[in-house]
Amino acid sequence: MTRGLVSLEATDAHRDLLAEAAASARGSDDDLVVLWHLDADKYDEDVTTLEAVGRIENVEYDHSSIVDGATAKARSFVTDVLGDSDVDVQIAVSVGSEDDRAERVLDAAAEHDCGHVFVLGDSRSPTGKAVFGDFAQQVVLNFEGYTTVRTV
């Protein structure tokens, strides 16, 4: 049995990507790892807020509660899209910037021993991709397995 990794955020386009990945996983008896992305700046803001609340309440909150919340949100998203699917789904949370997103996907795919990666690509022109780079392009060029890119 192999494993696929799906790079997700809470958007309609990512819903479609997850449904496609689940259909592929069902057809090949694979598991899925959902990599849920948290923006580093938003994470830092949440940590600051959590620390401020902790100072007011004279309690020290564990920062892992932010990741736990993101995991719960991802699980809810997966359940909403897949329902009672027979595909085994594991949730992983990644914190970082858009600039290092491809690297985080590649690292997670290696960490979870994934042979297939599903990502959402930009519908940017070829010139725009060449000049500014592209998240999906970086994954395709650097992943040593199957890659499915769904464009917006």
pLDDT by residue (tens digit) across 124-138? 666 555 544 578 889
pLDDT digits (tens, 9 = 90+) for 34-56: 999 999 998 899 888 888 888 89
Confidence of residue 21 (pLDDT cuts 50, 70, 90): very high
Domain span at residue 67 reads 3-151
- Over 90: is that where the pLDDT of 58 sits? no
Task: Please give the tally of structural domains in the chain.
Answer: 1
Sign of the Cα torsion 113, 21, 73, 90 reads negative
CATH at 64: 3.40.50.620
60: tokens are: 């020290």
pLDDT at 11 over 70: yes
Other CB atoms closer than 10 Å to residue 44's CB: what's the count? 12
Please say whether the beta carbons of 30 and 116 come within 8 A.
yes
